[in-house]
Structure 1
Amino acid sequence: MGFVDLFSAASMPVLKVLIVTALGSFLALDSIDILGQSTRKEVNNIVFYVFNPALVSSNLASTITYKSMISMWFMPVNILLTFIIGSALGWLLLLIARPPQHLKGLIIGTCAAGNLGNIFLIILPAVCKEKASPFGDPDVCYENSITYASLSLAIGAVYLWGYVYNLVRVFVGHTLKSGNNDLTSIDETVTVREDLTRSLLPSSPSSTNTDGKMKVMLNGMKHQLGNFSRRINLKAVFAPSTTAAIVGFMIGTITPMRRLLIGTTAPLRVIQASASLVGDAAIPMVTLIIGGNLLRGLKGSGISLLTVLGIVSVRYIFLPLCGILTVKGVVYLGFVDPDPLYVFVLLLQFAVPPAMNTGTIMQLFGVGESECSVIMLWTYGLASISLSLWSTFFMWLVS
């Protein structure tokens, strides 16, 4: 298969994403104001709490089985590797660019977390329908692509909210503590040290009572656990999309639940059908919101050009190269089934633009929103070229 055919099959789905994104930017113009800032915020809440969870749970429940999970065991590991390698490259970028403290979490997050959901649900099925696709029968390819995209979306959501959210939270919290909350931080530190000292040092003659020592030790442990829970927001791990992923996995892999909800003869199939109907709205809505948010990046921000170029280089040069070495390595060692579509998905997970929910996370903390818009503008603006070229090369590698 020639380069032109492969490039056509790879670029058409990317162009679809670009067209819908451009429509979102058009609707967000001040002169149009259909998708203005307040509207985007409200729609984003609906997507976050309703559309995305419905999309994740319905797709996983209908496509994931215990057998397919066994065959796709490496995909969660592969996504974890994208986060680890991206984070390491992000730390190197921090050493070079030396950004402000409150932007460090944003920079590492955009380097680590890719758009592993909505783009895959658009690109993969579209690639299967292209005449020049190297993935065989379009119907079989389409069904498998939905399975891969759904699992990628679910695992990516778990990692994003479990890792990037808390990463940003730690850096933002550190910035706040260095400001007006210094005294509070010092008081907490002193209290913890006093509790630990009382619990670890030998007791004085006036405090030989065993119950008293146990009470002090338990108080110290309670205080430490409280500090840990405040630093790491475990509730973010169970964001709506993450909870929906758990539900989808349970329905898909537990046979009695699957028989109740999935299939044309399932007694409760109307629930699955309703969730799928609601979830189908997530892809166009998120893509339109992406376009509206990118418009904010045109207004500029205080982020340096070096930082933006560094993030673009990480996501579109160094991560894909690392992905080729990683994926081809595990295929060569026999750890992964060399199915062309599956290997293509694993490679593509290293080459996608940053996760758009990173912008949602920055909005939740109220910092770095304009800087995030600039990063998204450049990374998604260049994604049409980068994704097309890398997709073409990956298709050549697996065909």
Structure 2
Amino acid sequence: MEILNLLLISSVPVVKVLMITGLGAFLATKKIDILGAEARKHLNKIVFYVFNPALVSTNLSKTVTLESMMLLWFMPVNILCTFLIGICFGWILVKIVNPPVKLKGIVLGCCSAGNLGNLLLIIVPAICQEKGSPFGDPSVCERYGLSYASLSMALGAIFLWSIAYNIMRISFSNCTIGEPSDGPKSHMRSLYGENQNMVPSNNTESLLALDSHRTSEQLPEKLSEALLRFEDCTDKKDSIIVRLSHSLKMLSCKMQLKRLLTPSTIGVVVGFIIGIVPQFRTSMIGEGAPLHVIQDSAELLSEGAIPAVTLIMGGNLTKGVNPSHMPKTLILGVILVRYLFMPILGIFIVKGAIKLGLVHSDPLYQFILYIQYAVPPAVNIGTITQLFGCGENESSVILLWTYLLASISITLWSTIFLWLVA
């Protein structure tokens, strides 16, 4: 009877997600076209730059203290484990199926990077509001649940753009060879520093010439003159500094370090500062705080994040219905990795951490750690394929099928996780 009750608690949030996702897909159809490609693009910008940072900062600032930060240290380790385990399983899948080169990066990206933010922001508060939830008072559960999910979203974005992005970039390097240099896709690759892959690797002189030509065109005149003055200088120390600076710039361009500092990540930093520094906390948190109007305004903005994200997710999944040459075994392999192998291994990892005393006894926090292994692939995998103009249809097909089956998988695994922490 307890299992059936937990199954009911787990299924209701997923049904809510399905209903809003279905509405987003319906609004994105050609007949309705309210949430078409351009509309989703503009709405996504508002969510990315306004709604999500407001949601993250407000929830963290109300719940995070210096003591609680010491208790959350295992979450970055847990998320890193999800990425590393996903990469290992993805590599095994690639070796078994042996897909085309451009699909290898998509498979590794889908297996390693999960939806560690948006989906948790929807599911966790809904579970807290259900009767019979093992997490206690609904309002307290929702406040702390949103804080844990917000931190998960920020950490997931950092790992996605530092690990999954670079794995896919290396895989897509062969995909861009021989394509025309004009057009929006080529321009996008040029913006992200990928056009050097169009030069054969054995032509070192051409590569150096292209690199110096591109650098001289992109740098402003003042910076170019400064570089020339440095080259004329015979001081070896200055030369080493210039070379080191140039190497750091190239490394930053390659790894897309700017993408690590997403608005959500900045929101996490702001939320931590407000929550930890007593002066900021007393002046902004609480009804009697003199600057509580700032917190109230941010909370008002944050209320639009979850429904907007869910509608966008439904609209984006409609791209997966287009015909594609995706091997069925590859789709099945990604589904098995994300919904079977990773959750099973995640149970052993989190259980082991709990027994070793690495994770504190909060059942809601433990539930978040468990469910991070059972979420579908990150929607940003499709964004990365768009940046390189390679494998867009294939990634949409994988995302479509994994999210269609997520309703069943997340319901079942949430029931098991609730039973483990109850």
TM-score, with structure 1 as normaliser: 0.88
- Equivalence map 1:192-207=2 (5 Å): none
Aligned to 1:109: 109
Residues matched between the structures, number: 382
Q: Residue 176 of structure 1: SS of its match in structure 2?
A: coil
Aligned to 1:205: none
Q: Residue 176 of structure 2: SS of its match in structure 1?
A: helix
- Equivalence map 1:51-130=2 (5 Å): 51-130=51-130
Would you say 1:187 and 2:205 are equivalent positions? Answer: yes
Q: Residue 8 of structure 1: SS of its match in structure 2?
A: helix
Distance across 1 between alignment mates of 2:261 and 2:174:
23
- Return closer, same or farther for 1:344/1:223 CA change in 2, 3 Å cut-off: closer
Aligned to 2:392: 369
Deviates more, 1:361-370 or 1:71-80: 361-370
Structure 1, residues 86-126: CA drift from partner, whole Å, max 9, x if none?
12212222222333333333322221121122222221122
Aligned to 1:199: none
Distance across 2 between alignment mates of 1:345 and 1:105:
28
Residue type of the partner of 1:180? M
- Report the Cα offset of residue 213 of structure 1: 5.1
Aligned to 2:367: 344
Distance across 2 between alignment mates of 1:93 and 1:256:
52
Q: Of residues 404, 407, 421 in structure 2, which corresponds to 1:381? A: 404
- Return closer, same or farther for 1:172/1:268 CA change in 2, 3 Å cut-off: farther
Aligned to 1:258: 281
Contact 1:109 / 1:164 at 8 angstroms: preserved in 2?
Answer: yes
Contact 1:315 / 1:351 at 8 angstroms: preserved in 2?
Answer: yes
Distance across 1 between alignment mates of 2:10 and 2:126:
9
Distance across 1 between alignment mates of 2:312 and 2:354:
37
Q: Residue 301 of structure 1: SS of its match in structure 2?
A: coil
Contact 1:297 / 1:376 at 8 angstroms: preserved in 2?
Answer: yes
Structure 1, residues 204-249: CA drift from partner, whole Å, max 9, x if none?
xxxxxx9465566555545543432332221111122222222222
Residue type of the partner of 1:334? G
Distance across 2 between alignment mates of 1:150 and 1:180:
39
Unaligned runs of 5+ in 2: 179-196, 210-232
Q: Of residues 366, 383, 394 in structure 1, which corresponds to 2:417? A: 394
Distance across 1 between alignment mates of 2:201 and 2:111:
34
- Report the Cα offset of residue 269 of structure 1: 1.9
Residue type of the partner of 1:336? V
Residue type of the partner of 2:73? W
Q: Residue 265 of structure 1: SS of its match in structure 2?
A: coil
Aligned to 1:198: none
Distance across 1 between alignment mates of 2:364 and 2:240:
56
Q: Residue 153 of structure 2: SS of its match in structure 1?
A: helix
Unaligned runs of 5+ in 1: 192-209
Identity %: 51
- Return closer, same or farther for 1:58/1:169 CA change in 2, 3 Å cut-off: farther
Aligned to 2:336: 313
Residue type of the partner of 1:126? A
Structure 1, residues 328-375: CA drift from partner, whole Å, max 9, x if none?
111112221233222222111110111222222322333222112111
Aligned to 1:131: 131
Distance across 2 between alignment mates of 1:253 and 1:51:
23
Contact 1:106 / 1:168 at 8 angstroms: preserved in 2?
Answer: yes
- Report the Cα offset of residue 251 of structure 1: 1.8
Distance across 1 between alignment mates of 2:63 and 2:205:
52
- Report the Cα offset of residue 186 of structure 1: 2.4
- Return closer, same or farther for 1:216/1:149 CA change in 2, 3 Å cut-off: closer
Contact 2:110 / 2:378 at 8 angstroms: preserved in 1?
Answer: yes
Distance across 2 between alignment mates of 1:139 and 1:281:
19
